Each structure stands twice: as C-alpha cells, then as structure tokens.
C-alpha cells in the first residue's frame, strides 16, 4: 500500500497519457468523451420508447442517462481493464514497479472520463430534471467512490487473469452485454422486483449483482431527486469492498509471474 | 540482515518453464495438449551472497549463465522459486532505459513520465530536473518531441533520468555503451561519483575492465551457481582462463574449423601464448608491462611467402592495434617446417579493460593461411585510473 502511494506520480502520468492518447488523431478528439454516450443514449431511447417500449416512464431519456454514464464507466473498466496489463507488457518485463499501478491508472482514467460526462448529466438534470435535492446530491460523492472501488476490484481480477488466460478478453464482451441487461439501466428495478412473472430465486440472484444498488442510488439522487435508502448504500458499499478485497488478493497472487507469462 | 548489509541473497533458485509451443487460449490448450510440453530449465540453482552498503559488485559469466536473471530477481521483475532476497532502500535499475517514453511528448514531459516509473514524486522530479537536463546535454532540444531525437540523444536522456534517481541500490545490466565515447566516459565517472556517495551498485557486464574499475568484488556465475567470489583481479583471470580454454580449443579438430577461423590451413596455428617478463603464460597484465606473444604453428604444406600478423581489439569492438610483418617492412617468410613467431611488446599500454587477440598467417597476396580471430582473451589492470584507450607515456612539468 505504502509503495503504491510512493508511485502516485506514475499513476498520475499514466492517467494523463491515457486520457490524452485515447482520441488522438480523431477529428473531434476529446469531444468523443461526450458524443459517444450521447449517441448511445439516443439509440437506447429510440429502442425502448418506440420499438420495444418498457414500462411507461416519465422522461425515459433522463431515467436512462443517469444510469448509463456510471454503467459505461464500470463496463469499460471491466473490458478495457482486462487488456491493460498486457498492453504494458514491455514495461512489466523490463522494469519494476508495483504492478497494480496499471489497472489502477486505467480505472482512474475511465473514472475521470465519467466525471467529465457528469458535466453533461448535471446540465440535463438541471434543465429537464425532476428538481434538485441538495441533500441527495451530497450522497453522490460516496456512491461514486463505492463504484470506483467496485470497478477497481473487478479490473484487478480481469487484468490479472487475462495474462494467463487470453480468452477472457473475448469472453468479457458477452459477459458485459449480459450484465448490462441484468442491471436496472434500461428499465426500472421494479420491473424485476415487483413483477410476479419473475421467479423468486431469480430475484434473490438479481440482488447479488453489485451494480444494482449502485445504479439504484444514482437514479434515486439524480432522477427521483431523493436521498437513496440506507440499505441500498450499505449493500453497495459492502459488495464494493468485498470485490476490491478479492481483487487485491487475486492480483497479488497472480502478478508474481507476470514477467514470465507475458 | 545486518546493519551494514544492503543486499542479502539466500539460497535463491529460479526455474523457467520453456514452452516449445504454448497455446495461449483455452481452445489451443484443450485441443493440443501435447503442444503444451515444456522443458524445465534450472537457471539459478543455489545462489547466496551478501553485499554491504556502499559496495560495488560485478557479476560475470558466459551468456546464459543466469546473471541477468539474478539481476531481474533483485529488481523484483521476477520472483524466486526458492530462497529469499532482501534489499534495503530504494532500488533503481539501469536495465531498460527509456521505459515508458512517449514519442510525441517533449523531452521534459518524458523526464516526468520516466522518472515516475522509478517511483519519484513530482516534487522529487522537480528538484532533479535541472541536473537531469544538464547531464543529458540536451538543453536546446528538451522541449522538442522525443520522436525528433536521434537514437543517441534518446539514450542520453534516458540514462540521465535513470542515473539521477538517487537510489540506495543501483542495478546495472550491460548498458554502459550509451552515446559517444565522451558521454560514456561521463556516465562512467558519474557512476564512480555515485559509488563514492555510498550507493550500493551491482553490475552485470561482459566488459571486465569496467567491473575492475568500479567494483570491490566480482562474482563469477556458472551453471546457476557461484563459481568464484573475490576481488576482480583474482576472479577475472580465472574466468578468462576458463573462457579461453572453452573458446579456443574446445574440441576443434583440423577438419572442422569454427567460425572464428579460416584459411587454407597450409600452416596451422597450434597455440597462442602471452608471456610475461619471466616467460610465464598469463591472461592478465598490469598496464605498461612487457608482453611477449608467441604463436606456434604446424606446417602441412610449404608456404613460400608468409606474412605474420596480430590484431588487438577491446571487448567492445574497438580496434586498438594491428600490424603485420609486411607493414613493418620485413621481407616475406618462406616456411618449410613447423615453427613459431614472436612479437615482443615492450610496454602493453592498453588501459584497463578486456581485450581480444587475433593472430594471422597470410600469403604475400593477402590470401589467408590461418586467420584466427579471438585466439586469446586477456585483461589489463592498473592502480592508476587514467582514462581513454591507451596510456601515452608522459611527464608533467609546471613552473608554479
């Protein structure tokens, strides 16, 4: 831990490099950070209001938007994070530094991206939202932190395992897709919890998804303009910490042979 | 670990699985199980040694003996399978220079990136920035993108960062061949300075001369074990002796000539000796000592117009000296029986380093009879630490 702190400058410069390099050479450059989620928003809104309408929701685009941006952060940490260690193999094979620096800086750069997108989210919420609850807004920072912890835990695992098992990178594509639908992003959570057609066992499994309480909390704060329930926050926090611990243990076990496997 | 110890290595062993053809994916591993066959290579078997604070140690050994692996274990790029390695203080390695350099960023920005990989904080880098730029001699180009640099400039910048990290322990792998000779000398002097400041240094090098100039001890690694440990002046002659015996006459017969030897073999060199003033064969000499090179040959066919020659190369490839009997305006020799030729060198003024001796017998038209490269390896050492290629006989005079 202390060592990681000593290498904070490295994390910082990797994040900077990543953010700068991401859209290098494209005409719109950094604007893609905003355009990409907005386009996704348009597609999903079109699909789920006109083609396959889900439950009747007021301002569906907003309902979706406040969940979509955090989800993009999480899913890109998971899929992009898995290749991050391999992408830096030249560095790993030749020089020592705490290996966790790499997934940490990748997740952090995704996180910074999300924060930038939140500028747009705030603008939309202020202009078209269901009012602003300042007390609820105070909960935004802790929930972001919890999501960061969660994303980091997942990225630590996926980045380390991918080194030994390269298929994971491809498998993760389908896993994220499934995960997208198993999280209440495009539909309200009541669709599952209050739907008699959904069997009980599925409901309890569904609630184990660590992203469910996170997304739920975002939606409470930004869409419903209300303080999230304590139970939601607590379960999000506990699942996040568990995930991070598991990530740390797995990563520290697997990283010993990185230089040989790469 | 004692108070005075900087590095303690105990019974360290490292095995590598060498896959002949490794399946990377699940499908490949399942379908082609036999492809996953591997050999286990025991690179390091049982290595133990201690380096005291402020000491410099050189690791020598032939290619593949495991010395670079040992260095990688010390930097923690690799982990040992058994045994333990303890290092005290900040470790910096000059193994890979320019790690993380980004071609589109300026030299200055790359200093920050690169130094951060060594674990420096922004504050620490700010404090060293001036020194780094000054040492690299790139003041005029420091704000240009690194892709516009020549490879020499690139390496200079990388080396400047690495050497200014101010580590407690510095690990160096064969990299003192950076830039032009001026810069090399500068790096080398800087290394000596660093050592004087109390940094512990471990060097892997094939240049025995460099190790002799800096290191207090030399460790000869052979087959994953420590073969000799001691002062460089004791270890290196033994090492060279061993290398010589494996290089020169390692099972070569008259039919099959190795790559370092060619010619008609009408007269074949059978032994090359370097003798000191008492006529004893040696592989290490004090700078300025008299040396006699004796080359014995066996005759197969008469050679009517033989020219004898010698050449001396420094281990890094610098051609130090070469001559032959024709250059020295001697008539060509007619060889009708086996014999020898000798070259008397009054003063071997080559400065401390490792050298390679070539000998040759040619015909008057320059057709090789026995051109024998790498015939002998030797080192020179000296208590005086003058620098350059060779010592010019000199006297000082002042009027102060």
Instruction: List pLDDT tens digits, range B49-74.
Output: 888 888 899 988 887 788 888 888 88
At B246, is the pLDDT very low, low, confident or very high (cuts 50, 70, 90)?
low
Give the number of C-alpha atoms closer than 13 A to the C-alpha of residue A159, restricted to the C-beta side.
31
pLDDT value of residue A60: 87
pLDDT value at residue B253: 36
Q: Which residue does chain B place closest to A94, by CA atoms?
A: B96
Q: Give the H or E element holding residue A203.
A: helix A200-208
More confident residue, B335 or B33: B335
Quick one: what percent of chain B has pLDDT higher than 70?
Answer: 88
Question: In the predicted model, is pLDDT for residue B248 greater than 50?
Answer: no
**HSE on the CB side for B47, CA within 13 Å?**
37
Question: In this predicted model, which residue has the larger pLDDT, A154 or B180?
Answer: A154
- CB proximity A200 to B under 8 Å: no
Res. B241 pLDDT band, cuts 50 70 90: confident
- pLDDT tens for B94-125 read 777 767 787 888 888 888 888 888 888 888 88
Mean pLDDT of B150-174: 83
Q: Which CATH number fits domain B251-381: 1.10.3810.10, 1.10.357.10, 3.40.50.11440, 2.70.50.60?
A: 2.70.50.60
User: What is the per-residue pLDDT for A103?
Assistant: 93
Do the chains contact at A95 and B75, CB–CB below 8 Å? yes
B383 confidence band (pLDDT: 50, 70, 90): confident
The angle formed by the CA atoms of residues B11, B16 and B19, to the nearest 5 degrees, is 170
Tokens coding A200:
């009980």
Phi/psi at B294 (5° precision)? -120, 125
* Average of per-residue pLDDT values in chain B: 82
pLDDT value at position B74?
87
Identify the burial level of B260 via C-beta atoms within 10 angstroms of its C-beta, where 0-12 means exposed, 13-18 middle and 19 or more buried. Answer: middle
Q: Which residue of B has its CA nearest to A16?
A: B113
What residue spans define the domains of chain A?
2-261
Q: Considering only CA atoms, give the Rg of chain A.
A: 19
CA distance B335 to chain A (A): 56
Contacts for B31 with CB less than 8 Å, ≥ 6 apart: B23
With an 8 Å Cβ cutoff, are A95 and B113 in contact? no
Residues of chain A short of pLDDT 70, as ranges, are 24-25, 27
Q: What pLDDT is recorded for position B39? A: 72
Beta strand pairing call for B200-204 and B56-60: parallel
Which chain A residues contact residue B115 at CB under 8 A?
Answer: 9
| pLDDT at residue A206, rounded to an integer | 86
pLDDT at A179: 93
User: What would the two tokens of residue B67 be?
Assistant: 């010395």
Question: What's the whole-model pTM score?
Answer: 0.73
The answer for residues whose C-beta is within 8 angstroms of residue B327's C-beta and 6 or more apart is B309
pLDDT the model gives residue B63:
79
pLDDT recorded at residue B31? 65
Give contacts of B 93-132 with A, CB under 8 A: 93, 95-96, 99-100, 102, 104-105, 112-113, 115-122, 125
Inter-chain residue contact B77 with A259, CB threshold 8 Å: yes
Q: Which helix H or strand E contains A192, and what residues bound it? A: helix A190-193
Chain A positions touching B100 (Cβ under 8 A) are 91
Q: What's the confidence (pLDDT) of residue A75?
A: 93
pLDDT score, position B178: 62
This complex has an ipTM of 0.71
């Amino acid at each position: 831990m202390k060592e990681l702190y000593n290498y904070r400058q490295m994390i910082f410069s990797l994040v900077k490099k990543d953010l700068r390099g991401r859209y290098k050479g494209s005409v719109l450059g950094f604007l893609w950070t905003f355009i990409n989620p907005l386009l996704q928003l348009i597609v999903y809104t079109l699909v789920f209001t006109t083609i396959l309408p889900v439950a009747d929701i007021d301002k569906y685009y907003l309902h979706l938007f406040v969940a979509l941006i955090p989800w993009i952060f999480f899913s890109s940490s998971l899929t992009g994070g898995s290749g991050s260690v391999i992408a830096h193999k030249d560095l790993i094979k030749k020089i020592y530094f705490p290996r966790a620096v790499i997934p940490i800086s990748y997740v952090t750069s995704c996180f910074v991206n999300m924060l930038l997108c939140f500028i747009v989210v705030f603008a939309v919420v202020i202009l078209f939202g269901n009012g602003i609850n300042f007390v609820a807004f105070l909960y935004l920072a802790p929930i972001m932190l919890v999501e960061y912890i969660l994303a980091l835990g997942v990225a630590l695992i996926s980045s380390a395992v991918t080194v030994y098992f390269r298929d994971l990178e491809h498998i993760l594509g389908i896993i994220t897709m499934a995960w997208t639908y198993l999280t209440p992003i495009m539909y309200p959570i009541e669709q599952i919890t209050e739907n008699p057609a959904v069997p009980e066992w599925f409901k309890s499994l569904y609630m184990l998804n660590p992203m469910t309480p996170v997304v739920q909390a975002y939606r409470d704060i930004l869409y419903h303009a209300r303080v999230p329930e304590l139970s939601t926050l607590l379960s999000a926090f506990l699942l996040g910490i568990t995930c991070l611990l598991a990530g740390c243990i797995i990563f520290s076990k697997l990283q010993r042979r990185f230089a040989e496997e790469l | 670990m004692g108070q005075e110890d900087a590095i303690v290595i105990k019974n360290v062993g490292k095995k590598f699985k060498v896959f002949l053809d490794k399946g990377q994916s699940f499908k490949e591993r399942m379908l082609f199980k036999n492809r996953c066959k591997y050999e286990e290579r025991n690179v390091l078997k049982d290595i133990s040694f201690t380096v005291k604070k402020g000491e410099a140690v050189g690791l020598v050994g032939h290619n593949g003996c495991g010395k670079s692996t040992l260095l990688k274990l010390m930097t923690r790029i690799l982990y040992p399978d058994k045994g333990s390695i303890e290092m005290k203080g900040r470790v910096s390695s000059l193994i890979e220079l320019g790690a993380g350099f980004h071609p589109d960023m300026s030299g200055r920005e790359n200093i920050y990136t690169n130094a951060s990989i060594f674990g420096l904080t922004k504050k620490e880098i700010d404090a060293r920035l001036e020194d780094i730029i000054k040492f690299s001699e790139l003041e005029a180009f420091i704000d240009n993108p690194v892709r516009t640099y020549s490879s020499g400039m690139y390496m200079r910048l990388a080396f400047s960062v690495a050497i200014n990290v101010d580590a407690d322990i510095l690990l160096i792998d064969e990299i003192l061949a950076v830039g032009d000779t001026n810069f090399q000398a500068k790096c080398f002097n800087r290394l000596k300075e660093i050592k004087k400041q109390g940094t512990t240094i471990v060097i892997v090098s094939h240049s025995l001369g460099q190790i002799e100039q800096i290191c207090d001890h030399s460790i000869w690694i052979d087959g994953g074990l420590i073969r000799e440990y001691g002062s460089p002046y004791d270890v290196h002659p033994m090492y060279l002796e061993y290398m010589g015996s494996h290089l020169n006459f390692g099972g070569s017969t008259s039919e099959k000539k190795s790559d370092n030897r060619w010619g008609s073999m009408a007269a074949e060199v059978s032994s090359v000796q370097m003798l000191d003033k008492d006529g004893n064969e040696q592989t290490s000499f004090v700078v300025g000592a008299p040396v006699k090179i004796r080359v014995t040959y066996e005759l197969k066919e008469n050679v009517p117009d033989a020219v004898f020659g010698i050449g001396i190369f420094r281990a890094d490839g610098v051609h130090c000296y070469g001559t032959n009997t024709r250059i020295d305006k001697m008539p060509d020799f007619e060889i009708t029986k086996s014999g020898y030729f000798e070259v008397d060198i009054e003063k071997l003024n080559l400065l401390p380093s490792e050298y390679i001796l070539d000998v040759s017998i040619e015909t008057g038209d320059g057709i090789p009879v026995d051109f024998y490269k790498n015939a002998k390896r030797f080192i020179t050492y000296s208590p005086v630490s003058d620098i350059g290629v060779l010592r010019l006989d000199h006297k000082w005079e002042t009027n102060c």
